[in-house]
Amino acid sequence: MNIVVLGAGAWGTALAIAFARQQGNTGTVTLWAHEPALAALLQGARVNGLFLPGIAFPENLIVTGDFAAATQGVAQSAGEIDGLAVVAAPLAELRRTLRLLRQTAPELPYLWVCKGLEADSGLLPHQVAAEEMAPDTFCGALTGPSFAEEVASGLPAAVTLAAADAGFARVMAQSLSGPQLRIYANDDLIGAEVGGAVKNVLAIATGICDGLGLGLNARAALITRGLAEITRFGMALGARRETFMGLSGMGDLILTCTGDLSRNRRVGLALATGKPLDVITRELGHVAEGVHSAREVARRAASLGVDMPITQAVRAVLDGRLDVKAAVAQLMARDTKDE
């Protein structure tokens, strides 16, 4: 299979490295960088020094800054899926990248790896894709508990490939799986996306909890009640409950809330020190999707009548309406109820 990864950030680069290792000589893997100068630098240095320093590119990984060239030859023919585009742009750039893909390779099967709800519209990634791409194009989400640095380093990981077309999900999961990256197919696209979106918000909450030194009991409570929030929200949108017990639900939540590589957890840790949000995001140097998703998740949940107190508290902290200690006090003062 020929694969083009559209986006040379940390996760896009990590996936390109992983797929190139697994593809060997049976297919080509191309990494597209938005800026031609960056593409030339990556192709020459054979390492992404900004996001994944010290992790060398496999010899069969090609880097380019030409979008049209990157998608050439990666196509669907005779009903057999032999090419794939992986859109590794942040959610804010998903719509623009899909428009480019529609112009250059409208029939090419594609996956997206961003997580969250689009700003202003509150749409999940598959809903953005439905507005921008042909309805009969094979597509889906690659999501689950996975840090870019570990995947690029070849450490074991397991993720979910979710698509409305169960057959496509199974074919892609089998084709993309390898010794270090195991992929499970799932046809609950809504559930997989909701798990990936809301866990980032809850990771900010857990970072605040740990940054304030509230203890392991408090962290466990946050993660557990956070999973309940994810499940309520997802089911209101049409997801299946069991999806949230899997990799794209509980798995991704646990990793992002407890792993030191988590950008969203680091945002919460910094908020606990009293550092301003704009300074935190600037110093982070990466996109922390939970910062952008908190407002949209809270707003959409309210429109659905779904109770999400932790998410609402995180939103209030990010908006500057509550300080972190007041947010904790507010959550602990809520009326008791059955679990």
218: helix, coil or strand?
helix
For residue 25, the model assigns a pLDDT of: 58
Q: Residue 156 class from Cβ within 10 Å (0-12 exposed, 13-18 middle, 19+ buried)? A: exposed
Which of these, 89, 166, 174, 195, lies nearest to 132 by C-alpha position? 89
User: Which pair of tokens denotes residue 155?
Assistant: 């450490």
If phi > 0 it is left, if psi is from -120 to 50 it is alpha, else beta; for residue 160 that is beta
List the catalytic residues: 199
Q: How many CB atoms lie within 10 A of CB 339?
A: 6
**Domain 197-332, CATH class in plain words:** mainly alpha
H helices present in the chain, as ranges: 10-23, 36-45, 67-71, 91-104, 125-132, 148-152, 166-176, 189-211, 216-236, 252-258, 263-272, 277-284, 289-304, 309-318, 324-332
pLDDT of residue 78: 33
Tokens of 339: 């679990």
Q: What is the pTM of this model?
A: 0.94
Q: Residue 74 has what pLDDT?
A: 78
Q: What is the pLDDT along the chain (339 residues), one digit of tens a residue?
A: 899 999 999 999 999 999 999 876 578 899 999 999 999 999 999 999 999 999 999 999 999 999 998 987 676 443 456 799 999 999 999 999 999 999 999 999 999 999 999 999 999 999 999 999 999 999 999 999 999 999 999 999 999 999 999 999 999 999 999 999 999 999 999 999 999 999 999 999 999 999 999 999 999 999 999 999 999 999 999 999 999 999 999 999 999 999 999 999 999 999 999 999 999 999 988 778 899 899 999 999 999 999 999 999 999 999 999 999 999 999 999 888 888
Q: Which of 312, 334, 324 is nearest to 208 (CA)?
A: 324
Contact 290, 206 (CB under 8 A): no
* CATH H-level, domain 2-187: superfamily: NAD(P)-binding Rossmann-like Domain (3.40.50.720)
Tell me the C-alpha to C-alpha distance, in Å, between residue 27 and each of 23, 61, 94. 6, 10, 26
Report the alpha-carbon distance of residue 58 to residue 99 in Å, rounded.
29
Q: What separation in angstroms does the CA of 236 have from each of 107, 129, 232? A: 32, 21, 6
Residues whose CB falls within 8 Å of the CB of residue 308, separated by 6 or more in sequence, listed in order: 229, 232, 233, 297, 298, 301
Residue extents of the structural domains in the chain: 2-187, 197-332
CA distance 197 to 20: 28
